[in-house]
Each structure stands twice: as C-alpha cells, then as structure tokens.
Amino acid sequence: MKTDYPERSLYATLGIIIISTVTIITSIHSAYVYIETKNKIIQEMKYSSKHTIVTLQKNIANLIASYAINEYDKLTLSEMNHRANFAIIVEDYNMGKILGKKAYTSGKIKADNGNIIDYNPDNNEQNKQLEECYYSDRDDITSSQGIKLGSITIYISDHSMQIQLNEIIKTTIIKSVILSVFLILSLFITIRFFILQPLSNIIGIINNGDADGIPVKRIPNHGSTEIFDLANTINHMIRSIKDSRIKLTEQHNKLKVHEDQLHRSQKMDALGTLTGGIAHDFNNILGVVSGYAELLESRLKEQPKLARYAHEIVTSGERGAKLTRKLLSFSRNVESKESKLNLNTVLYEEKNMLEKTLTVRIKLVLKLAEDLWFVRLDKSDIEDAILNMSINAMHAIAANGQLTLQTHNESLSSLNAKQLGLEAKDYVVLSIIDTGCGMDKKIREKIFDPFFSTKGEKGTGLGLSQVYGFMERSKGTINVSSEPGQGTQLNLYFPRYEENNNKILSADGHQPTNLKGNEAILIVDDEPALLDLSREILSQQGYHVFCAEGAKQALEILAAQHINCLFSDVLMPDMDGYQLAAIVQKKYPYIKIQLTSGFSDDRHLNQQSDTLHQYMLYKPLSSHSLLQRIRTLLDEPEDIQGK
C-alpha cells in the first residue's frame, strides 16, 4: 500500500492516454473509412463494369457485324484507359467463324507495370491473372436482330483497391502519429504552463518554510480556477497551521507559567510548613522563657540587679519572638490586622523615613496614580514590605542611584491574570524600581526563598520571604523583572478593596486598664510548659484557674466545675480547639471562649467559629495582651459571642 516513490510522471501517463485514445479513435475511424471505401470501390467497380458493358455492347455489336476487329479493339482500349478495369475480353463469333473456331478471343489486359497490353488467349500467365480477379462480369453481344455475335467480359482486380486501402491504412497511421504528436505537444505545453509550473511554484513556496517548516509566504492566487482553488486551500491551511501554532505557543507559555507557579508555590508551601513548624516550637519555648522572665522581673522589684537580668532575658525573648514572627510571617502564620487603606497615603507617610534611610546618594521618587483604588491590608505589613524592599534597593545601588515607588490601578484581563496566577479583577499595583546592580536568572529565581541572601553575614535572607508571605496573605502577588546591570523592578499586585467586605472588626477597641479578675478560667493546652505559664499569669491576677492537657480532660472539668471562661489552644492531638469550642458553646452557652494558636491558619474557618478566629490570640503571648484580652472578653455582654 505504501509508496515510497512517485508513480510515473504525469507526462508519461497523459502521453499514454493520448496515444491510446488517438490510436483507438483513428483506428475506429479508419476501419470505418476502410470498410466504407472498400464498399464504395466495389460498388464503383460493379457500376463501372456494368457501364462499360452497356456502352461497349452496342458499339461492339456493330463492329463485330462489320468485322472491324481493330475498331472494337480500340474501343476496349479506350474503355480500359478510362475505367479501372483489369481486363476486357471480347469473344467474336463472326471472326471465329472465319478462323474456323467458335470464337475469336481478343481484348486488353493490364500488365504488371500498369500498361495496357493485348490479351493473348494462349498466355497462361494472363489467364491465371484473370481467374484470380476479384470480380468479373460477362454479357452476350447480340445484333439488333437478336443474333448472338459474341460476348464481352469485364475483369476487375482488387489490386487497385488494395492499393487504395493500403493508402488508407498508411494515412491513418500518419494521421494518428501527427495527431498524437500535436495533442501531446499541446497537452505537454498546457500541463507545463498551467499545471506543473504553478504546482512547482506552490511547492517552492511551501518549501520555503520557517524553522518549523511552515511556509513563510502566501501562495499568490492567480491562474486557472483549479490552481486558484488549490492556492486558496493551501493558504487557508497555512493560516490554520500558523494560528494553531500561535495557540500552541500561548498554551505552552501558559502551561510553563502555571508549572513555574505550581513549582514555586509547592516550594514555598514546603518551606512554609518547615519554617512554620520550627517557628511554632521555637515560639512556644520562647514564650515560656519570656513569660517566666517577666514573672521573675515582677517579683524581683526589690533586687534591682537581679531584676535587670530578668529584664535582659525578657528583651532577648522579645527579639527572638520578632524573628520567629518574621518566619511565621513568611509561612503566613501570623495574625494580621487588615484595614481599608490608600497605598498613596501609606507611601506619603513613609516618605520621610525612607529618605533618611536611603541617604542622599539615592534619590527617592514617588510616582503615584491619582484616584488610586483602596486596598485592604495590614498597615504595618505593607510598611515593613516597603522598607524591606527599599533597603534591598539601597544595597543594590553601589554609588548613586534612584529608587522609584510607583502606584497605578490595573484591571487584569483573564489572560494577564492567569499569567500572574491571579483572579481577573481590579488590582492596585505598587512598583519598586531601582537603578541597582540587578540580578541574574539564578538569583532571581531564589530571592523569595527564606534565608536566601547574597549578603553573607549581613543578610538574613528573610526580607523578601516576608514580603512574599505578606503578598500571599493579601491574596495578591509579587513578580520581579531584573537583569544584571539593568536595575530591578518589583511589582506588587493588591486586590482592589471591595465595599461588601468592609465588616472590619477592629482589634483596637476599648482597652481595659484593670486586668484583674476572680472569674473561673479553664486553660486547655497540650504543652504543659505553656499551660503552667498561662496559669501563673492568670492566677497572679486573682483568677481561679483550672488546667486541662486535652479536650477530654477539659470536658470533665467543665462538667464538674462552674467555669466562666475557656482559654484553649487550637492545635491539640485528640480534639482541636474549634471542636472543643463548639461543644462548649452548645453545652454551656454562657461560657466565654478564647482560642490561641501558633499559626495563622485559615483551615478551620467557618461561620460558627468566625468570631473565635477573629479574636484568636497568636503565640508567643505577652502576659499583658493575654490579660487584656481575657478581661475584655469577660466584660463583654454575653450575646456578642457565638454569632
């Protein structure tokens, strides 16, 4: 079935068809002419012989009667000359009588060389030729009185007919050849100029392709209808292929972007989980250290020297806490206090501070869009991010340079949004542009990784990780464009603030000054050290504190004791804080509930626990914030909670 080689050339095929067609047609035609001619000749012969006989009969009768032998001889000769007879033989009974024979036989016959010669009855050769004659006609010659004077016989040979018929065959062959040659020539010319030439032009254009083999040029559509159609069809095909390629490239690029994004988010997730886990444990440890140091400090008021030591521990703890917060911030596990903001306002407020930080060698330029949309952000987070990135820019600028902070509104098309890994909606874009050293691809790909720094001891490598975590929390994104020596531009996309999202419950409400109380508080935490620390802090202020190391124990205590407030950790092995809270809210609706967690995690967010989540206390807790929160909670009217 498969053909690796082209079949024979179009020329050859058409040539064969033409030759056979012409041959068949001319053969049929010739056969017809042949038969026609043959019949005509035979007809003519018969007519001619009849005519000859009729004309000769009467004349010869007279001549025989008058013994004018030479005269009828002349007559037969002239008849032979005028008609294509092979022979005319006359039997003369009168002369026969004179000679003492039945008849005197004479006549004319055509010799082999075509000359007409006398017939000699004794010539066997001639007699044989007469016998072989194709046609003969004999008639009596009678006088007007009806006496038989003799006879006349006309012989017709098919020799001349054969010559004529051969001539027909010959002309047929010549005609066929000429016609074939003519037709083939004209067809070759036609095919060459109207089919093969345009085809080879088309092939040439198709072969002139780009790297993918797709033709660069369109096929000019002119020529015959068929070639025109072909050109159009091929052009259409080329166009389709080109379109498909564009789509394919687009899809490929999208896929690549998605893949990169997936890759990055997987990496970031993994890093987040890792750092989050470490930070969580570390945070708990720090909490215990700092908590006890605080307690120690408050007890050692009379011994100033020891109190100072305890204070040092508290300060270091705070620094440690700050670090873990940075880590947690990257892994999103931080408490955020979002509010409706105008980025331009934030930038104005920050301007002075930034100029001081950047010093005079770096010029700070603000390019702020008018009517900038609002965003919903944690103000301190955005301030931190701006500072972080500005400091990076400062580090990147060796001598003098410029830092541009730019804002604008942008409605992302679905395509652009997809490429950025965002939803297609309105965004406020903050761009931080510096004229620094820039980055190569290798660095560019790692800048958001925690602890990635090119600054050695001087850098922690957490600055941009923090920014990244912040952007994730903000449901926005950050991208970087930078080339070595070309400066760096970071673009931060923040979703536009939407009015129906404005139920911001400010954490900054009324802050109680009296932190003491005597209510019964049940503390639930699987970490004994933290359990102890919390109990110490609360009991110092006069609260009746009960402790449980898990939910099960807590429920037992609740069943036995009157409890005013439940203070529970979220992450616990058998039952988590939310589940416990749910049970308590159902069984003991009067009990106020406060949850605490090391992670800012959205997993358990639901209608019921929305408020609980909202007021979550994040670890490590300062004793002050714990006491303040508990006091506020207990002082709230009962119906606020559980809604």
Partner 1 sequence: MILILFSTTFSYSEHKVNTSIEVPSPEPRKQLIYIVSDNRIPFWAIMGRGITNSASMLGYEINIYSSENNAKRELEFIVKAIQDKVSGIIVSPTNSSACVTILKLAKSAGIPVVISDVGTDGGEYVAYISSNNREGAYQIGKILTKKLFELGWGESKIGIIAIPQTRLNGQARTAGFIQAINESGFKGVDIKQQSTFTKQETYNLTKGMIIEHPDLHAIWLQGSNRYKGVLQAIADSGKKDKILLLTFDAQPEFPELIRQGILLASAMQQPYLMGQEAVSAMDRHLNGKAVEKNRQLPIIIISRENIAQQLKTIKRTFPGTQETDIEN
Ligand X SMILES: Nc1ncnc2c1ncn2[C@@H]1O[C@H](COP(=O)(O)OP(=O)(O)OP(=O)(O)O)[C@@H](O)[C@H]1O
Q: Which residues sit at the interface with Mg ion, rule CB under 5 A?
A: 392, 463
Q: Which long-range contacts (CB under 8 A, 24 or more apart) does 144-148 make?
A: 144/61, 148/93
Task: At 482, give phi and psi (nearest 5°).
Answer: -160, 145
Burial of 623 (0-12, 13-18, 19+ CB in 10 A): buried
Smallest distance from the beta carbon of 155 to partner 1, in angstroms?
A: 21
> What is the distance between the alpha carbons of residues 247 and 249, in angstroms, rounded to a whole number?
5
Decide whether 467 or 554 has the Cβ nearer to ligand X. 467
Decide whether 64 or 219 has the Cβ nearer to partner 1. 64
DSSP 98-124: HHTSS-EEEEEEE-TTS-EEE--TT-H
Smallest distance from the beta carbon of 98 to partner 1, in angstroms?
A: 5
**Residues near 570 by beta carbon (within 8 Å), at least 6 away in sequence:** 576, 577, 578, 595, 596, 597, 599, 601, 604, 616
For β-strands 362-367 and 401-411, DSSP reports them as: parallel
| Options 488, 491, 568, 596; binder of ligand X; rule CB under 6 A | 488
Smallest distance from the beta carbon of 356 to Mg ion, in angstroms?
A: 18
> What is the distance between the alpha carbons of residues 38 and 164, in angstroms, rounded to a whole number?
9
Residue 370 in 3-state DSSP?
Answer: coil
List the single partner that 95 binds among Mg ion, ligand X, partner 1, none, CB under 5 to 8 Å by kind: partner 1
Burial of 468 (0-12, 13-18, 19+ CB in 10 A): buried
Smallest distance from the beta carbon of 75 to partner 1, in angstroms?
A: 11
Decide whether 291 or 463 has the Cβ nearer to ligand X. 463
List the single partner that 10 binds among partner 1, Mg ion, ligand X, none, CB under 5 to 8 Å by kind: none
Smallest distance from the beta carbon of 326 to ligand X, in angstroms?
A: 8
Task: Tell me: does residue 99 bind partner 1 (CB under 8 A).
Answer: yes
DSSP 449-501: STT--SSGGG--S-HHHHHHHHHHHTT-EEEEEE-TTS-EEEEEEEEBP-GGG
Q: How many residues sit in the footprint of ligand X (CB under 6 A)?
A: 22
**Residues near 268 by beta carbon (within 8 Å), at least 6 away in sequence:** 448, 468, 472
Decide whether 472 or 525 has the Cβ nearer to ligand X. 472
Decide whether 434 or 525 has the Cβ nearer to ligand X. 434
List the single partner that 73 binds among Mg ion, partner 1, ligand X, none, CB under 5 to 8 Å by kind: partner 1
Decide whether 69 or 366 has the Cβ nearer to partner 1. 69
List the single partner that 407 binds among ligand X, partner 1, Mg ion, none, CB under 5 to 8 Å by kind: none
446 within 8 A of 452, measured Cβ to Cβ: yes
> What is the distance between the alpha carbons of residues 488 and 569, in angstroms, rounded to a whole number?
43
> What is the distance between the alpha carbons of residues 322 and 325, in angstroms, rounded to a whole number?
5
Q: How many residues sit in the footprint of partner 1 (CB under 8 A)?
A: 13
Task: Tell me: does residue 334 bind ligand X (CB under 6 A).
Answer: no
Question: For residue 317, which of 630, 621, 571 has the smallest C-alpha distance?
Answer: 621
512 within 8 A of 629, measured Cβ to Cβ: no
Amino acid letter for position 142: T
Task: Tell me: does residue 396 bind ligand X (CB under 6 A).
Answer: yes
Smallest distance from the beta carbon of 66 to partner 1, in angstroms?
A: 6
Smallest distance from the beta carbon of 179 to partner 1, in angstroms?
A: 52
For β-strands 477-482 and 426-434, DSSP reports them as: unpaired
Task: Tell me: does residue 98 bind partner 1 (CB under 8 A).
Answer: yes
Using CB positions, name the residue nearest to ligand X.
463
Residue 309 in 3-state DSSP?
Answer: helix
Task: At 158, give phi and psi (nearest 5°).
Answer: -90, 10
| Options 80, 393, 428, 591; binder of ligand X; rule CB under 6 A | 393
Smallest distance from the beta carbon of 53 to partner 1, in angstroms?
A: 23
Decide whether 360 or 398 has the Cβ nearer to ligand X. 398
Report 66-95 residues binding partner 1 (CB under 8 A). Answer: 66-71, 73-74, 94-95
Q: Which long-range contacts (CB under 8 A, 24 or more apart) does 552-557 make?
A: 553/524, 554/522, 554/524, 554/580, 555/580, 555/583, 557/522
427 within 8 A of 496, measured Cβ to Cβ: yes
- Cα angle 379, 383, 386; round to 5: 140
List the single partner that 99 binds among partner 1, ligand X, Mg ion, none, CB under 5 to 8 Å by kind: partner 1
Decide whether 64 or 464 has the Cβ nearer to partner 1. 64
Smallest distance from the beta carbon of 446 to ligand X, in angstroms?
A: 8
List the single partner that 14 binds among ligand X, partner 1, Mg ion, none, CB under 5 to 8 Å by kind: none
List the single partner that 94 binds among partner 1, Mg ion, ligand X, none, CB under 5 to 8 Å by kind: partner 1
Binding mask 431-470 for ligand X (x = CB under 6 A): ---x-xx-x---x---x----xxxx---xxxxxxx-----
Decide whether 361 or 455 has the Cβ nearer to Mg ion. 455
Smallest distance from the beta carbon of 151 to partner 1, in angstroms?
A: 19
The binding site for ligand X (CB under 6 A) comprises 388, 392-393, 396, 434, 436-437, 439, 443, 447, 452-455, 459-465, 488
Binding site for partner 1 (CB under 8 A): 66-71, 73-74, 94-95, 98-100
